[in-house]
Amino acid sequence: MKKTDEKFTSADGRTPIHVRKWSPDEQPKAVVQLIHGMVEFVGRYSAFASYLTDHGYVVVGHDQLGHGESAMTPDDYGYFGEYGNEALIADIHTLRKRTEAEYPGLPYYMLGHSMGSFLLRQYLTEKEKYGASCSEGLAGAIIMGTGQQKAIALQSGIVLSAIIKGIRGHRHRSRLINSMVFSSYNKKFKPARTAFDWLTKDTEVVDWYCDEEWCSFIFTVSAYNEMFKGILKSIDKNRTKTISPNLAMLFVSGADDPVGDFGEGVRKAYMQYISNTKCIVDIKLYLDDRHEILNETDRDVVYADILTWLDERLADIDEL
């Protein structure tokens, strides 16, 4: 396995976006593009990426605006810039096109976790700016750690964050909004050992996360505003109807993930695509697993299940 790093300029016109690629020693059979979640970075996926490369997949992902090596200073942590959600989506597309050009003809998958799952769901419905539906040409999409937030809650969040942004500025970090988003996540896991017990049962992973600088910041109020807008687009049923019928989708989450309302929100999201697309859509919930199933105590089972799904989709493509 070979690991390489490179950069491209973000759609914001100024930020160097850090890209990491894991490639197998042999001829690859497909590509998996990762879209990481909120307050983390693509390097956290190294173990999973190495597992996939051992089975013939190229894995590529980038640190999104305001995250990891793409944040130029600590002041940029959790800040998407002037173009916000639009730039996040454009950067995902840029990396896809760069990677497709490097590996022409290979089946191409995308996997989004948490915030990345909502961005991927939005991305699959984008069309106007890219000439064709972004869902076209993909072998599959894995939606991990997602949920189905209520539109009225998102709209309220958009209004409140816009008001605070107008008063305190784009880079203000609102503890009020941060609390509104995260304060309930640990309730099921009392007595909580840390503020992040909801991530995984693996205490070593939780402790590492708590100590990592790139996982220890609060989003800016403008980033929250843009994230809420993006999630609102991702749950729009009319947008969902535009997704290519040739796309295969897999929803995977922990049954104890508060982001997915302990499975209920994941099932609602799954039904959004069952009811409004002609895609092949699968779902898998892992009993007792929390938010980060790739970092859970049964991660070996999760890895193997995802690999099986990827390989089965390749077999379906070969039969066409």
pLDDT tens digits along 97-110: 999 999 999 999 99
Q: According to the model, what pLDDT value does residue 258 have?
A: 98
Q: Residue 264 above 60 pLDDT?
A: yes
Q: What is the pLDDT of residues 158-208, one digit of tens each?
A: 999 999 999 999 999 999 999 999 999 999 999 999 999 999 999 999 999
The pLDDT assigned to 319 comes to 61
Q: CATH number of the domain at 2-319, please?
A: 3.40.50.1820
Task: Report the pLDDT averaged over residues 275-288.
Answer: 98
**What value does the mean pLDDT take over residues 18-25?**
98
Residue 132 has pLDDT above 90, yes or no: no
Percent of the chain with pLDDT over 90: 95
**65-113 tens-digit pLDDT:** 999 999 999 999 999 998 899 999 999 999 999 999 999 999 999 999 9
Do 29 and 4 touch, CB atoms closer than 8 A?
A: no
pLDDT of 315 > 90? The answer is: no
pLDDT at residue 127 in the model = 86
Edge-first strand listing for the sheet containing 248-254 = 2-9, 16-23, 57-62, 30-35, 108-113, 140-144, 248-254, 280-286
Q: What is the pLDDT of residue 285?
A: 99
Q: How far apart are the first and last CA of the chain?
A: 30
pLDDT exceeds cutoff 60 at 320: no
**Mean pLDDT calculated for residue range 133-149:** 97
Strand partners, 57: 30
Domain boundaries, the chain: 2-319
Query: pLDDT by residue (tens digit) across 212-257?
Result: 999 999 999 999 999 999 999 999 999 999 999 999 999 999 999 9
Three-state secondary structure along 108-163? EEEEEECHHHHHHHHHCCCCCCCCCCCCCCCCEEEEECCCCCCHHHHHHHHHHHHH
